[in-house]
Structure 1
Amino acid sequence: MRTGIATVCLSGTLEEKLRAAAKAGFGGIEIFETDLVTSPLSPEHVRALAADLGLGLDLYQPFRDFDSVPEELYRANLRRAEAKFRLMGRLGMDTVLVCSNVGTASIDDDALRAEQLHGLAELAARHGVKVAYEALAWGTYVNDYEHAARIVADADHPNLGTCLDTFHILSRGWDTEPIEKIPGEKIFFVQVADAPKLSMDVLSWSRHYRVFPGEGQFDLPKFLGHVARAGYNGPVSLEVFNDTFRQADVERTAVDAMRSLIWLEERTARHLAAEAAGTGSGAPSPAELARASRAYAMPLTTLPQVAPPTGINFAEVISADGAPRTAELERLLAQLGFASRGEHRTKPVSLWTLGDARIVLNRQQARGLEPAISALGFDVEDGVAAAARAVQLRAVPVPRPSQANEEILQAVNAPDGTEVFLCEDTRWVAEFGEDQADGPAADEGTDDGERSPSSAGTGSAGQTSAGQTSGGAGTARIDHINLAQPWQHFDEAVLFYSSVLALTPEASQDVSSPSGLVRSQVMQTADRPGGRAVRLALNLAPWIQSDSVKGARTDTFQEHVAIEVDDLVAHARACRGRGLPFLPIPENYYEDLDARYDLEPAFLATLRELDLLYDRDARGAFLHFYTASVGSVFFEVVQRLGGYDGFGAPNAPVRHAVQHAARHGG
């Protein structure tokens, strides 16, 4: 599939945009007129630079308000168009985008539109230019792609075709199946953009909230499948208007954009293969996928196929060697019930375990750093294949120097800098020596931490009364991890984890905090017996500016690791006996909790006593508590009862408020 990107997607100058697009691997670029008009580069210079970079100049856009106008304005429009055609000749470009009219001077007459577009195409042909007519979602009279295609057919000129834009089609809810009725040779260009589903006017939605494929809620593989069946074999180009992308680093945004098209290309091949095999949304076989990838004029490249992760292998926290915060973190882990498994053979790294939950404390290159989550390990079937897929999706590999008898672990960098390790097993645990002192975990009957989390049971459904367990044999495991994301890379992170790890984005939620609304996006694997295998929550913290330093954060957003246990009340009592600093929960919370759920007095008293939080839904209940923070890290301990599969979302504002008060001396 030939990939392209519009310059409007990227920040910077025209030259910076061209270089970033080429570096990210795009085949072509659309030049947005404003980018050329404001550039000091001559058209000839732009043409030569694109050639040097190996970029095709695929589309010049936009040409507005041309069709269905009075005769005098039509003649003026032709003069304007001819000037643009001469400019395109200097650029070496052969396709121009003409948008359906949004002006008040337009006349609602399809015959007139066809006649005027025919005249434009005749003029364009004399300059070697093709005209791609696009129905804008807010066009005065033409806002439907089928309507635009009929006008193109009536105009009947070889230099006139249509442009299909996913936003203009899917934002209006138009059926995409009729795309297959448009002759492939009359589809001159295809533009793609994703978007969250919002309730607002379509123009504002388009200008500010488009995102790259895989970062929104449009069914783009289905759309592109229809385009492939129509016989189209031209560029598939991104046209994304987004305020955040236009402020972010140009090269990084271009890589994110390229990843989104690679994701879309593969998903389209899978969609077509599943439909051809009659498996619906089921996974097609490798042979079916190979056939689908070469069955159409537009070839579709696929990636190494990997299964979603089956568990969280470990979480790593970085902290400075010898710093007071590091000692505080180690003390907190011991109070939680973790046992030290000793130091790594060759590195200043230690391992702590509680059942099947593993926390790695990394003191390498951490001078001056506060404790923070620095790496995650995921259980996968084939680490090499998973890493190969990630690299093809433009992820950057993480080098891990290894000595003799040390495991070779595959890893890549996530958009926020977190290292993502792709682990087939836990043999790496043998690289850590046993601590001579018995940790508190030994007193609670936990194992030695060398069993893979993917083999740990989550227990059967339990009761909602305090102290009763959900079954199992006293195991503990990492239930979920919550990561804070930089505001400018939040959508990029969603695409990264969904494309690289096959995690499924759930509907995002807004959680209130004293610093403002926090957008929370849960990423998780599909259902399996006993619950979810992998849960990851991405939080977009509000951006706060200091009065004295513009752009400086005045608040630190926290991240945490959640540990699932079988008997949370018993575990909480043991932790309190070891002096664990719990996050104190206000009395108002328990009064509200009792009003909502009419809890048994003894149960409510236990919650108050231990600073526990509670939630329930139609499927089950959820008990949890939080520790105090060390640096930007804290821990949560949870127990899932029955079929509860949430995160205690109603309790999140309480946590945010208490943490905010603690950080600000409350």
Structure 2
Amino acid sequence: MLTSIATVCLSGGLVEKLHACAAAGFDGVEIMDADLIAAYESPEEIRALCDRLGLTIDMFQPMRDIEGVSDDVFAENLRRAEAKFDIMQRLGTDLVLVCSNVATASVDDDAVAAAQLGLLADAAAARGIRIAYEALAWGRYVDDYRHAWRLVELADRPNLGVCLDSFHILSRGHDPAAIEEIPAEKIFFLQLADAPRLDMDVLSWSRHHRLFPGEGDFDLTGFLAHVQRAGYTGPLSLEVFNDTFRQTDVTRTAAHARRSLSWLADRTARERGTWADRLPEPQRAQGIDFVEIGGGDLDAVDRLLDRLGFAFRGRHRTKPVRLWTAGDARIILNEQLRAERPRLSAFGLVVADAASAAARADALGAPAVYRRSYAGEQELPAVASPDGTEVYWNDAPDGWLAEFEGGRGVESFGGRVDHINVAYPWQDFDEAVLFMTSAVGLDAEPPADVPGPQGLVRSQVMRSRDGIVRLPMNLAPPTAPMPSRHIAIRTGDVIGVARAARARGLDFLPVPDNYYDDLAARFALDPELLATLRELDLLYDRDDAGEFIHFYTPTIGDVFLEIVERRGGYDGYGALNAPVRLAAQRRAGVGA
């Protein structure tokens, strides 16, 4: 698989972008005219830099509004084109993108457009240059790839072909199946972009809201399958206009982009039943092995877990690490991480083949994590997620328990990890979704917006298909503090756990009385249950499938716990209670 990326996808100057693309493992680049114009390096210097970096310059993008115009306008367009052909020869690239005309001065006449494309191709042929003609989704008269192909056929020049762009095709709802009718040698280039389904004008949608493959709602695997069946063997290139990506770190965004192509190629190969471009087998998470809280001083977390009813299972025999359990829920406190404030630093997943899971993540460019281990200790492969949270895989989930010694043997309440709620800043969110999908093997549910005291919090739940592993991800408004992360423990008797924890002196996140007045209005609850909920600061939700009762602990550093009980088939997270929780945490001085 050959990979390429348009320089418009990335932040920074052209030289920075090229270094980032090479570091991410791309084979080539599309150079945007605007990037070259703003560079102080000459075309010859850019060409030499690409040679040193091992990058091919796959395409140049300077050509707009060429065809379907009057003779005098076309003469000026040819003059402009000749000047750009000079630049291309200095760059050492032989392919130029020509987008369909969007100007109001153009004419709706295929014969005129085809004739002018043919003349442009003749001028390019004299320089050894090929032209890839692309139908823009907002083109004045040519906005469908099938129309673009008809014009290319009509012009009938060997150096004139089409460029297929997934956004321009899928955003308009065009059927990509007809791609297979285009001869492979006439598909000169392929550009890929994902996007969310939005109800807005297509130009604004394209210029601001494209995403890398795997992050939006387009069927890119089906699209790519059609292109491959047509016989295309050229680069898979990304052209993603996105305001976020053009503001974030160029090296990290390039790595993120490269990962998206690996994911897309792997998924398409699996759906087509082919072996080329396949990565190691994806490992479906079978359960949560442990959750880790890291920090330099975790005594307050020890006290919280003790009062909550967790059992202390001992200290690690060689490291400053402690283990607390509640039934099958395992929380590790790691004081090797000298973080200023306690934070959710890692989690482990149970899989069938840990080595294969790690190999797949490595092939997707996820950085490996190393932790020192001694003889007789279980080694768990791990990688770092986009924000540094470490993800471990374990195919022998009880193997490391014997490494902890000196536990008190006290019984805990029965529980398991219900979900892990994590948070990301706005610039990392889409990358995190792709990472959890591609490397961790979770599926993304439709996002939802939760109102908070400082704006809407976007929530995206990532989960295993059976729901055993759930990872709600929160994105706070750009001006709000980062949301705290939390671990939700599921039990069969949340009221009993709450009463016992209260008896041990644990205070919960306080819930305002107004909440319970509203609860009484929304649900015809038994008065005794409502009184219990109010007494213990418990929150409640109900749907047609069942009930949900939960409470929150105070926040320590950047982490807190939630104890939940699901009754019947309730599958949600108490979304209507989230604004109450966010407001209560803000009142307690905790970030959103």
* TM-score (ref. length: structure 1): 0.87
| 2:268 aligned residue | 268
Task: Give deviations 1:255-292, integer Å, cap 9, x for gaps.
Answer: 0000000000001111212xxxxxxxxxxxxxxxxxx2
Instruction: Classify the secondary structure of the residue corresponding to 2:530.
Output: helix
| 1:467 aligned residue | none
Task: Give deviations 1:505-559, integer Å, cap 9, x for gaps.
Answer: 11111111112111111000113xxxx1100011112222xxxxxxxx7x35211
CA–CA distance in 1 between the matches of 2:17 and 2:283? 35
CA–CA distance in 2 between the matches of 1:352 and 1:365? 18
| 2:443 aligned residue | 504
Q: Is 2:528 aligned against 1:589? A: no
Does structure 2 conserve the Cα–Cα contact (< 8 Å) formed by 1:556 and 1:632? no
| 1:344 aligned residue | 316
CA–CA distance in 2 between the matches of 1:665 and 1:655? 11
| 2:299 aligned residue | 327
| Closer/same/farther in 2, CA of residues 664 and 379 from structure 1, 3 Å limit | closer
- Runs of 4 or more off by more than 4 Å in structure 1? none
Task: Give deviations 1:544-598, integer Å, cap 9, x for gaps.
Answer: 2xxxxxxxx7x35211000000111111111111111211111221222222222
CA–CA distance in 2 between the matches of 1:218 and 1:229? 19
| 2:405 aligned residue | 433
| 1:541 aligned residue | 476
| 1:472 aligned residue | none
Shift of 1:438: 5.0
| 2:537 aligned residue | 611
| 1:643 aligned residue | 569
Q: Is 2:405 aligned against 1:488? A: no
| 1:236 aligned residue | 236
Shift of 1:618: 2.1
Does structure 1 conserve the Cα–Cα contact (< 8 Å) formed by 2:215 and 2:430? yes
| 2:288 aligned residue | 312
Residue in structure 2 matching 1:630, options 524, 535, 556:
556
* Letter aligned with residue 5 of structure 1: I
* TM-score (ref. length: structure 2): 0.98
Does structure 1 conserve the Cα–Cα contact (< 8 Å) formed by 2:313 and 2:409? no
Matches within 5 A, 1:95-134: 95-134=95-134
Instruction: Classify the secondary structure of the residue corresponding to 1:5.
Output: strand
Task: Give deviations 1:403-439, integer Å, cap 9, x for gaps.
Answer: 111111101000010011111112111111032x454
| 1:363 aligned residue | 335
Does structure 1 conserve the Cα–Cα contact (< 8 Å) formed by 2:11 and 2:246? yes
| Closer/same/farther in 2, CA of residues 535 and 365 from structure 1, 3 Å limit | closer
CA–CA distance in 1 between the matches of 2:120 and 2:58? 19
* Letter aligned with residue 396 of structure 1: P
| 1:282 aligned residue | none
CA–CA distance in 1 between the matches of 2:583 and 2:452? 6
Q: Is 2:461 aligned against 1:522? A: yes
Shift of 1:347: 0.8
Does structure 1 conserve the Cα–Cα contact (< 8 Å) formed by 2:423 and 2:482? no
CA–CA distance in 1 between the matches of 2:590 and 2:268? 50
Aligned-residue RMSD, C-alpha: 1.4
CA–CA distance in 2 between the matches of 1:365 and 1:628? 22
Shift of 1:231: 0.7
Shift of 1:355: 0.5
Matches within 5 A, 1:186-265: 186-265=186-265
Residue in structure 2 matching 1:382, options 353, 361, 384:
353
| 2:371 aligned residue | 400
Shift of 1:42: 0.5
* Letter aligned with residue 368 of structure 2: P
Shift of 1:627: 0.8
| 2:415 aligned residue | 476
Q: Is 2:334 aligned against 1:372? A: no
| 1:468 aligned residue | none
Matches within 5 A, 1:282-321: 292-293=274-275, 300-321=276-297
Does structure 2 conserve the Cα–Cα contact (< 8 Å) formed by 1:306 and 1:382? no
Residue in structure 2 matching 1:570, options 482, 493, 496:
496
CA–CA distance in 2 between the matches of 1:301 and 1:569? 52
Instruction: Classify the secondary structure of the residue corresponding to 1:574.
Output: helix
* Structure 2 residues not aligned, in runs of 5+: none
Q: Is 2:317 aligned against 1:391? A: no
Instruction: Classify the secondary structure of the residue corresponding to 1:433.
Output: strand
Does structure 2 conserve the Cα–Cα contact (< 8 Å) formed by 1:349 and 1:360? yes
| 1:459 aligned residue | none
Task: Give deviations 1:421-474, integer Å, cap 9, x for gaps.
Answer: 111112111111032x454xx1x5x5xxxxxxxxxxxxxxxxxxxxxxxxxxxx
* Letter aligned with residue 357 of structure 1: A
* Letter aligned with residue 286 of structure 2: T
* Letter aligned with residue 341 of structure 1: R
CA–CA distance in 2 between the matches of 1:229 and 1:151? 22
* Letter aligned with residue 384 of structure 2: N
CA–CA distance in 2 between the matches of 1:619 and 1:8? 48
For this pair of structures, how many residues does the alignment match?
591
* Letter aligned with residue 455 of structure 2: G
| Closer/same/farther in 2, CA of residues 660 and 582 from structure 1, 3 Å limit | same
Matches within 5 A, 1:655-666: 655-663=581-589
* Structure 1 residues not aligned, in runs of 5+: 274-291, 294-299, 447-474, 545-552
